[in-house]
Amino acid sequence: MLLQLNDVKLGYPQGNGFKTIIEAFSMHLARGENACLLGSSGCGKTTILRAIAGFEPLYGGEILLDGDIIAKTGYMVPPEQRHIGMMFQDYALFPHLTVAQNIAFGLHHLPKAQIKQTTHEMLTLIGLPGYAKSYPHELSGGQQQRVALARAIAPEPKLLLLDEPFSNLDVDTREKLATEVCDILKDKQLSAILVTHNRAEADVFAKQIYHIGEI
């Protein structure tokens, strides 16, 4: 099993008490599979994603990645040591860097020749081989999100987390890109978790859907 969340409790101290956001949430994700956290705004789905990434402490339960505990009460493996990639709603591309430089951002530890080869492979994979020297502002929203995907998977993470990455796109582009992302993940044999409030998007992306904030 690639990822396991066992009875995870999330929240924050509030005055003399505690505000619970997520209570006893569990999920399992096998290697090569996708899952979706589906729910309305404020239900806690992004908080779960942040906990998996290493940005939220646990107040109960545990998270395991590849069989190793990466989080439990009082213990957190730092985000940079988890080998987890992330895609965000606002693309989060560096405006002063070219498309190629954005994709190569997480590859600085590799030899230059390997960085160049990986960047070229990523550009081909996302269908933008002629855009290496373009800047983010010269791309459409869908193209920017493809670049964000390439940057996230270029370092070959164990797991990819997607926080409502298609919500700023129009409906047609949203579903088309969701399908394309699934195909790319399948090609790379990479597992992913998508956070969304859109049921159609969830159905396109994953068979394994967790409804957050519902009994």
- pLDDT beyond 90 at 173: no
Q: What is the mean pLDDT of the chain?
A: 94
In the structure, what pLDDT confidence band is assigned to residue 176 with cuts at 50, 70 and 90? confident
The phi, psi pair for 9, rounded to 5°, reads -115, 130
pLDDT for res 215: 43
pLDDT tens per residue across span 64-104:
999 999 999 999 999 999 999 999 888 789 999 999 999 99
- Cα–Cα dist 171/25, whole Å: 31
205-210 average pLDDT score: 94
pLDDT for res 91: 77
110-125 average pLDDT score: 96
pLDDT for res 214: 63
DSSP string, the chain: --EEEEEEEEEEEETTEEEEEEEEEEEEE-TT-EEEEE--TTSSHHHHHHHHHTSS--SEEEEEETTEEEEETTEE--GGGS-EEEE-TT----TTS-HHHHHGGGGTTS-HHHHHHHHHHHHHHTT-TT-TT--GGGS-HHHHHHHHHHHHHTT--SEEEEESTTTTS-HHHHHHHHHHHHHHHHHHT-EEEEEES-HHHHHHH-SEEEETT--
- pLDDT beyond 70 at 55: yes
The residues facing 193 across adjacent strands are 35, 161
